[in-house]
Amino acid sequence: MSDFRSNERTFQLLTQVAGRAGREGLEGNVIIQTYNPESFPIECAREQDYLKFYNQEIMLRNALKYPPFCDIIKVEVSDINEEVAKKAITSIYEKLLKYNKKNMSIYAPMPSPISKIKNRYRFRVIIKCRLGNTVIGQINEVVNSIKTNSNTRISVDINPNNMN
């Protein structure tokens, strides 16, 4: 789940690049170097088949409960002390579980895909749900209840552009 939009971005970029080849009556070629030429977005870009790509992608997003069928909320904690960050994200997770009704999926805390940036350890919890005032209120309540020190940062990102 590092980036559910990666197929879309790949298709979009390749389609855009291919569209720039062969303008004004001149022939053009697009060469794509890849380890995975059978990749669905690459195949659809090669065929310039927007509808095929859309139908497959929307079916996949629906099955996996990704936007637009569900909202994804990333709650991230970072700190210069790894144990402090772990403790804070675990506390957030445990408090969120108290609200977990049928309308919310809360995934266990884990290190962020890039677990350390600028000497700060990063951990996250991912929530999938339909966003509304109730959910926003619950997340705000949990985040505001966490006791932190001046080195601890907590961020909440709704439908993040980057899951790292």
Statement: residue 88 has pLDDT above 70? yes
Residue with tokens 């996949």: 60
- Mean pLDDT along residues 23-41: 86
pLDDT of residue 1: 47
Q: Is the backbone of residue 162 left (phi > 0), alpha (psi -120 to 50) or beta?
A: beta
Residue with tokens 């001046």: 150
Report residue 92 as tokens: 């957030």
Best CA proximity match to 156, nearest among 125, 132, 131: 125
Using omega within 30 degrees of 0 as the cis cutoff, is the peptide bond preceding 160 cis? no
pLDDT, tens digit (0-9, with 9 covering 90-100), for 5-17: 889 999 999 999 8
Q: Which residues are CB-neighbours of 1 under 8 A, at least 6 positions away?
A: 126, 163
pLDDT, tens digit (0-9, with 9 covering 90-100), for 39-74: 999 999 999 899 999 999 999 999 988 899 999 999
Instruction: Give the domains, in start order, of the chain with CATH numbers.
Output: 6-64 (no CATH), 71-158 (3.30.70.600)
pLDDT, tens digit (0-9, with 9 covering 90-100), for 97-137: 988 666 789 999 999 999 999 999 999 999 999 888 888 88
